[in-house]
Amino acid sequence: MQVKRQILDVTSCQVIIDLPESFVNHRVELIALTLDDVDTAPKRRKPHPEIAGKGHTHGDLIGPLVAEDDWECLN
């Protein structure tokens, strides 16, 4: 796969780009993104106020809650 990246200042509804000769007779995908509105930081999610702070962690987060001897599917 070959890539051509070009950043342009858009002044009208049409943009003309020159592609390399190696793109001729191939299918290409063109994606237009605005760079001014890009928010790279993900928004932090918050729990609903009625349930915020009510959760508790019991035991080990990695290990199973039930001993392996009690697992019927292993027998």
Whether 65 is in a domain gets the answer no
Q: Quick check: is 33 in a domain?
A: yes
pLDDT in tens, the chain (75 residues): 888 888 888 889 998 888 899 999 999 998 888 887 666 677 888 999 999 989 888 777 888 777 878 777 766
Dist. CA 41–CA 1, nearest whole Å: 29
Structural domain contains residue 74: no
For residue 23, give its domain range: 1-38
**Quick one: which of 21, 20, 12, 17 has its CA closest to 31?**
17
Domain count, the chain: 1
Q: Does residue 24 form part of some domain? A: yes
What whole-number distance in Å separates Cα of residue 65 and Cα of residue 17?
A: 59
In a domain, residue 4? The reply is: yes
Contact yes or no for 7/13 (Cβ under 8 A): no
Q: Is 5 inside a domain boundary?
A: yes
Q: State how far Cα 71 lies from the chain centre.
A: 36
pTM of the model: 0.40
Instruction: Report yes or no: 41 and 35 within 8 Å, Cβ to Cβ.
Output: no
